[in-house]
């Protein structure tokens, strides 16, 4: 479902006629960050954790939009029809491209999909990563699994719980997720980071914004987040923390697994809040190329992880780049193939299903 904002009324309204293009632009930047993590093969680039920034930005966006959609449904539908509409819409949006990726990937023998397809089809990819304490060839699907688990739990929470309980629940998640991740500092496996409790603060941050805009939490909260000193202060602090490993200053487990993820979530929250309420201040996000990339970002995310694996299997001469020129050509090839696959998927696989009526 697309959503439109009416800042003057302070509410989110469901709409197929309008969409917040600034949020599409933010999706575009988020998926570019993920590509930097997975395609550059540069330890210096990866030291900045661009993938984590991109993924957590997606989670904040998801928490905001999904909570807004559910609150709309709560106000206009009975629980049964709302559940039917919500989950049917989610499946039509997410499942077709995932099915194509699993089927084609299995046929090509990439991503371990011939053996691991069941984990991914049942949205348990993150549980597989945690259980095996290793990344699979389709390890990026952990975020899709986590999102689906979030939908299953968040739907009854928003639709059934007393409305006055939602704000305390969201605030509780913001506190509990860092506490859960802190177990890594005491010897727990770092792979618990792919579990829903570890990422709940990013999702809750987005939900908090939805509640604030609707008046369940004081609207001044949103106004403070969008103040330039707060917005750019959070971004600057995040940049400083992320730069430490790149400058040869390692982060402690507490900083890496507890503080940094929370800081990413709040910086993303400030950006989303500004994009929703004052998009003119973030005009860059409405750049046509970013909006287009954001529109097809789901497909880019789904398919991109398999592109290097395909090249390694079928075009090894390009995959095994050594010189700067060869690496640049390889990077360009991977980007072109990933974006082309996503564009075709959007027009042939994803968009037709979204147009189908209930």
Q: Among 143, 203, 142, 211, which Cα is nearest to 174's?
A: 203
pTM passes above 0.75: yes
Domain that holds residue 322: 3-355
pLDDT at residue 20 in the model = 84
- pLDDT tens readout for residues 125-167: 999 999 999 999 999 999 999 999 999 999 999 999 998 999 9
Count of structural domains, the chain: 1
Measured CA to CA, the distance from residue 201 to residue 266 in angstroms comes to 9
Measured CA to CA, the distance from residue 230 to residue 226 in angstroms comes to 7
Is the pLDDT at 16 greater than 80? The verdict is no
- pLDDT tens readout for residues 214-268: 887 776 777 888 999 999 999 999 999 999 988 888 888 899 999 999 999 999 9
Measured CA to CA, the distance from residue 59 to residue 30 in angstroms comes to 10
Measured CA to CA, the distance from residue 40 to residue 340 in angstroms comes to 19
Cα dihedral 344, 329, 46, 62, rounded to 10, equals -10
- pLDDT tens readout for residues 259-275: 999 999 999 999 999 99
CA distances from 90 to 74, 289, 293, 294 (A): 17, 26, 20, 18
> Rounded to a whole number, what is the distance in angstroms from the first to the last CA of the chain?
13
Question: Are 46 and 255 in contact, with CB atoms under 8 Å apart?
Answer: no
pLDDT at residue 310 in the model = 96
- pLDDT tens readout for residues 190-205: 999 999 999 999 999 9
Is the pLDDT at 11 greater than 90? The verdict is no
Measured CA to CA, the distance from residue 120 to residue 128 in angstroms comes to 9
pLDDT at residue 8 in the model = 29
3-state helix, strand, coil in the chain (%, to 5): 80, 0, 20
pLDDT at residue 41 in the model = 86
Rg (CA), the chain: 20
Q: Among 200, 246, 209, 169, which Cα is nearest to 64's?
A: 209
- pLDDT tens readout for residues 285-296: 999 999 999 999
Task: Kindly indicate the confidence band of residue 107, based on its pLDDT and cuts at 50, 70 and 90.
Answer: very high
DSSP of 277-346, one letter per residue?
Answer: H-GGGGGGGG-HHHHHHHHTHHHHHHHHTTHHHHHHHH-HHHHT--SHHHHHHHHHHHHHHHHHHHHHHI
In three-state secondary structure terms, 114 is helix
Q: Among 247, 246, 242, 284, which Cα is nearest to 263's?
A: 242
- DSSP-H helix ranges across 109-218: 113-121, 125-132, 142-160, 163-181, 196-213
Measured CA to CA, the distance from residue 272 to residue 264 in angstroms comes to 12
As beta bridge partners, residue 11 has 6
The conformation of residue 180, written as its DSSP 8-state character, comes to: H
Task: Kindly indicate the confidence band of residue 19, based on its pLDDT and cuts at 50, 70 and 90.
Answer: low
Classify residue 123 as left (phi > 0), alpha (psi -120 to 50) or beta: left
pLDDT at residue 275 in the model = 95
CA distances from 79 to 15, 35, 76, 86, 210 (A): 20, 39, 10, 10, 20
As beta bridge partners, residue 12 has 5
354 vs 295, more confident: 295
Measured CA to CA, the distance from residue 209 to residue 301 in angstroms comes to 25
Question: Which stretch of DSSP H or E encloses residue 263?
Answer: helix 260-277
């Amino acid at each position: 479902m697309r959503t439109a904002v009416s800042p003057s009324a302070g509410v989110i309204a469901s709409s197929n006629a309008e969409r917040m293009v600034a949020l599409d632009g933010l999706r575009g930047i988020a998926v570019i960050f993920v590509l930097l993590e997975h395609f550059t093969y540069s330890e210096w680039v990866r030291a900045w954790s661009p993938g984590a920034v991109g993924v957590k930005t997606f989670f904040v966006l998801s928490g905001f939009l999904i909570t807004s959609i559910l609150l709309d449904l709560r106000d206009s539908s009975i629980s049964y029809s709302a559940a039917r509409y919500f989950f049917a819409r989610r499946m039509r949006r997410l499942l077709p491209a995932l099915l194509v990726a699993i089927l084609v990937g299995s046929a090509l023998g990439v991503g371990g999909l011939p053996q691991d397809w069941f984990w991914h089809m049942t949205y348990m990819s993150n549980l597989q990563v945690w259980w095996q304490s290793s990344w699979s060839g389709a390890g990026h699907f952990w975020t899709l699994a986590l999102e689906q688990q979030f939908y299953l739990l968040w739907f009854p929470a928003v639709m059934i719980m007393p409305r006055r309980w939602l704000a305390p629940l969201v605030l509780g998640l913001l506190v509990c997720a860092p506490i859960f991740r802190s177990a890594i500092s005491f010897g727990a496996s770092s792979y618990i980071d792919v579990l829903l409790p570890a990422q709940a603060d990013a999702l809750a941050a987005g939900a908090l914004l939805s509640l604030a805009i609707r008046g369940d939490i004081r609207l001044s909260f949103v106004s403070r987040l969008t103040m330039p000193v707060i917005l750019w202060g959070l971004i600057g602090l995040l940049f400083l923390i992320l730069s430490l490993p790149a400058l040869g200053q390692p982060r402690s487990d507490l900083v890496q697994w507890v503080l940094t993820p929370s800081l990413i979530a709040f910086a993303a929250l400030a950006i989303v809040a500004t994009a929703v309420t004052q998009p003119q201040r973030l005009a860059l996000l409405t750049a046509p190329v970013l909006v287009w990339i954001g529109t097809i970002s789901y497909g880019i995310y789904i398919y991109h992880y398999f592109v290097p694996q395909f090249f390694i299997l079928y075009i090894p001469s390009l995959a095994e780049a050594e010189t700067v020129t060869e690496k640049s050509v390889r990077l360009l090839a991977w980007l072109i193939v990933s974006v082309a696959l996503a564009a075709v998927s959007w027009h042939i696989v994803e968009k037709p299903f979204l147009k189908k009526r209930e």
